[in-house]
Amino acid sequence: MKKLMIASVFALGLAACGGGGGGAKAALVKSCLDDGSSDETTCNCMADVAVDKLDPKLVNILVEATKAEDEDAFMMSKMGELSPEEMTSFMTVMMSAATECGMEM
């Protein structure tokens, strides 16, 4: 499930604060690498896309997820709080990122 999160939300996700920038990217990359299903190039690519293309609110959710005891449960609860527009934006960006970054699903 964590792999799906990272690919579809990126993070569900990556990345890790404060709405973007180096702290968020570093946290997301670390989470991705810790998952062990992607290499450093893929993790960096996914984090770049997340930080560059997602709304800061969504990046913050990804960053918060990296700190949660149960990352998947945290993401599932947060996804339920998003508006349909936010969910669509998030899924569109993350699925595009997965394809662009060559993430295996």
More confident residue, 5 or 25: 25
CA 94 centroid distance within chain: 7
Mean pLDDT of 21-45: 88
Q: What is the pTM of this model?
A: 0.74
Confidence label for 35 from pLDDT (cuts 50, 70 and 90): confident
Give the 3-state secondary structure of residue 88. Answer: helix
Q: How does pLDDT run across 61-97, given as a tens digit for each residue?
A: 999 999 999 988 998 999 899 999 999 999 999 899 9
Length of the chain: 105
